Structures are given as structure tokens and as C-alpha cells.
């Protein structure tokens, strides 16, 4: 594990302007480390405290100080990502994802209605054959049941991503709808990322490199679950996208398009944004352009804020490593073992 001084000697803090508001922001700040094995990214969202943000620092260290795992594939199918924009703006957003055959559509945005969601999803469905939606835990079980019916009235959905906030709610919803349920926050923000699988609360696991502590930690978690996975971005810069692609490339099985095409959401990035070709992104290392690092450098007060954040997170890294070692080898019940078979009315397996 690198010392704090070594990390701070290697840090670059940048501010990336965005094309549209996403997660309530129009500028994405991240800290990048130029390490001996490559570049790592530390970009926990601003509201995250040190215990949660420390996993993102572990991920940055994993990328900057350790070699990536051997790839099993050289390109990754990606989904288009559609923020909670008006339906009329959908074609403009989708134009940034040439060749994508799958789209993830944000729904349940505060201040918007289910009718807004339906209009947005149908606008996407008119242009992209496979549609999934992401509610970020914004619905109750009853609201999710109603939304699932409304959003599938004009066509199918691949899955509902994190429709409800808690694992018990996801499990209850899965027994009441025919649309597959995917878990995101219930994995990446949970003290026990495997609970959602043990409780049979999801059909698909959405996994993100940074919140789970890095590529190697992600692969360890995926190796202990028995449902399909989707590797997704945490609104990463080109450096973080490279780590996500490395993780997706190393998976033994990858049956779904991944949410790693979010580079198009930025007006400027630290490296050329990878452009999908026939809906795929190539796998390979990413190094920032020095001129862009300089041009996108965050103001001094923001750099100081991020350095203070790194200082707060660094002492927690040993605890994260110890916890990961303790969990190693702890599996989850296979279907029919311990947790019981899915009951009648469960969502279909995918």
C-alpha cells in the first residue's frame, strides 16, 4: 500500500465540464494518480463520507499500483445512457452512442412524473431495441409495481435497475413483477455487497469498479455470485472508464451490454473519449494527455479540498484490506441452497 506522501506526490485534480446535468451536477471533479503501474482515479461523489469514499481510494490505488488482470475479450458492448431529459432531447443524447443496441434510461427523477418517464422511455424505444431503466432507489414497492406496468405497456424492459432502495423491498418487488430486477446501490453502497444475492432480491448485479474497491475486488465479488453482471461507470473520467473496461474484459462470462459509454457526457476529458464502434468500446490502458491535465486543472481551493479528502480516507485503507481478506472464500448459497428456491411469481431469471 503506498504511503500518503507518495499518493499526494502523484495527484492531479481536474474539473470536467458536462454536456447535461447528471446526478444534479454539471461539473465532475476527480483526482487522478500517476502510479507505477498506470493511472488511477479517485472520484467519490461529493456527499460521500470517508468510510464510503475510502473504497474509491482503494480502487485508484489498485489501478495505479497493480497490473490489470489478463483480458478475456478485446472489446465490450456498451449501453447508451439517457439522463432524465425531456423526450424531445432523446435523439440528441442517443447520437453520442453510435451503434448501441441497448439504452439505460434514468427514471424516478425528483420533480418529474411517471408520465415523463414513460415519454422518455418510449422516445428511446423508438430508436434503440433494448431498453433498461434506472430508478436509483426512487420508488416504494407499490410505486415500482405501478411504474413497471406503465413502462412496459408499449414494449418490454430488459430490467429495472435499483427500483427500490432496500434489499427487502427489492425481494418483495421481484415476487410481484415479471420484469427482471437489477441491483446497483444495494451492492456498491452496502456493507455486505453479497446480501442482495443471498436474499434472492435481484436477477442482475450491476457492479462498479470504484465503489467496490478496484478491478481485483470487483472480480472477487463477481466470483462469489451466481447471477449475471453488468459493469457500469460511476460517472468516471476516461481513466476510470479504462478500469471499468479492464474489469469487464476479465470477467469469465459477460452476457449484457455494460454501462461504460458515459464519456460522451463530458464536454472535455483528460484523454480522448472512446467512441463506440458498432456499439463496442476497445479494451486498453488509458493515459491522460498532459496538456489536458493542465487545461482542466481544478482551482487551488478545490485541489486542497480533494487532498484533505484523500488524507481522511487513507487511514481507512488498512481496514478495507482486512475486511476483504476476511470475506475471501465466503460464498453465497446456490439456487436451492440455504435461501430456498425462488417462489411463484418471482421475476424471471436472466
- 301 annotated as a binding-site residue: no
Candidate list 12, 28, 132, 208, residue with the active-site label: 208
**Strand blocks (E) in 92-248:** 102-106, 130-134, 160-161, 181-183, 204-208, 229-232
Phi/psi for 80 (5° steps) reads -70, 145
Candidate list 96, 106, 120, 256, residue with the active-site label: 106
Of 188, 205, 237, 222, the closest CA to residue 60 belongs to 237
- 236 annotated as a binding-site residue: no
Residue-wise pLDDT for 229-240, tens only, equals 999 999 999 999
Domain boundaries, the chain: 4-68+298-326, 75-289
Task: Report the C-alpha gap between 246 and 40 in whole angstroms.
Answer: 12
Q: Quick one: what percent of the chain has pLDDT higher than 70?
A: 92
Of 74, 80, 79, the closest CA to residue 249 belongs to 74
Q: Into which CATH architecture does domain 4-68+298-326 fall?
A: 2-Layer Sandwich (3.30)
- 184 annotated as a binding-site residue: yes
- Neighbouring C-beta atoms of residue 210, cutoff 10 Å: 31
Is 189 tagged catalytic? Answer: no
Of 193, 130, 201, the closest CA to residue 169 belongs to 201
Is 104 tagged catalytic? Answer: no
Task: Report the C-alpha gap between 207 and 94 in whole angstroms.
Answer: 23
User: pLDDT category, 333, cuts 50, 70, 90?
Assistant: very low
Q: What is the pTM of this model?
A: 0.88
The tally of CA atoms less than 13 A away on the side-chain side of residue 330 is 12
CATH code: domain 75-289 is 3.20.20.120
User: pLDDT category, 335, cuts 50, 70, 90?
Assistant: very low
User: pLDDT category, 291, cuts 50, 70, 90?
Assistant: very high
Give strand pairing partners of 13.
31
Task: Report the C-alpha gap between 100 and 93 in whole angstroms.
Answer: 12
Any idea of the CA torsion for 142, 145, 149, 155, to the nearest 10 degrees? 140
Q: Quick one: what percent of the chain has pLDDT higher than 90?
A: 82
Amino acid at each position: 500500500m503506498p504511503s500518503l506522501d507518495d499518493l499526494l506526490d502523484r495527484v492531479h485534480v481536474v474539473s470536467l465540464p458536462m454536456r447535461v446535468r447528471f446526478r444534479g451536477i454539471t461539473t465532475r471533479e476527480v483526482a487522478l494518480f500517476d502510479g507505477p503501474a498506470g493511472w488511477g482515479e479517485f472520484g467519490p461523489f461529493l456527499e460521500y463520507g470517508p468510510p464510503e469514499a475510502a473504497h474509491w481510494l482503494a480502487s485508484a490505488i489498485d489501478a495505479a499500483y497493480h497490473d490489470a488482470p489478463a483480458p478475456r475479450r478485446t472489446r465490450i458492448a456498451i449501453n447508451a445512457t439517457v439522463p432524465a431529459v425531456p423526450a424531445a432531447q432523446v435523439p440528441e443524447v442517443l447520437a453520442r452512442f453510435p451503434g448501441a443496441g441497448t439504452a439505460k434510461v434514468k427514471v424516478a427523477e425528483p420533480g418529474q412524473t411517471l408520465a415523463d418517464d414513460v415519454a422518455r422511455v418510449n422516445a428511446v424505444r423508438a430508436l434503440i431495441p433494448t431498453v433498461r431503466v434506472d430508478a436509483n432507489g426512487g420508488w416504494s414497492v407499490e410505486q415500482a409495481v405501478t411504474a413497471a406496468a406503465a413502462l412496459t405497456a408499449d414494449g418490454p424492459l430488459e430490467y429495472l435497475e435499483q427500483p427500490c432502495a432496500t434489499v427487502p423491498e427489492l425481494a418483495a418487488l421481484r415476487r410481484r413483477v415479471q420484469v427482471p430486477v437489477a441491483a446497483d446501490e444495494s451492492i456498491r453502497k452496502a456493507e455486505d455487497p453479497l446480501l442482495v444475492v443471498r436474499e434472492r432480491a435481484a436477477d442482475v448485479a450491476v457492479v462498479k469498479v470504484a465503489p467496490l474497491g478496484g478491478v481485483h475486488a470487483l472480480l472477487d465479488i463477481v466470483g462469489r455470485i451466481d447471477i449475471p453482471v453488468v459493469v457500469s461507470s460511476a460517472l468516471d473520467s476516461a481513466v476510470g472508464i479504462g478500469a471499468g473496461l479492464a474489469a469487464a474484459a476479465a470477467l469469465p462470462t459477460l452476457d449484457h451490454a455494460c454501462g461504460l459509454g458515459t464519456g460522451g457526457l463530458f464536454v472535455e476529458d483528460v484523454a480522448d473519449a472512446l467512441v463506440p464502434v458498432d456499439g463496442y468500446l476497445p479494451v486498453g490502458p488509458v493515459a491522460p494527455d498532459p496538456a489536458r491535465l493542465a487545461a482542466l486543472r481544478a482551482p487551488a481551493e478545490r485541489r486542497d479540498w480533494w487532498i484533505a479528502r484523500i488524507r481522511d480516507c487513507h487511514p481507512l485503507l488498512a481496514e478495507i484490506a482486512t475486511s476483504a481478506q476476511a470475506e475471501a472464500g465466503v460464498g453465497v448459497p446456490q439456487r436451492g441452497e440455504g435461501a430456498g428456491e425462488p417462489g411463484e411469481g418471482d421475476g424471471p431469471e436472466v
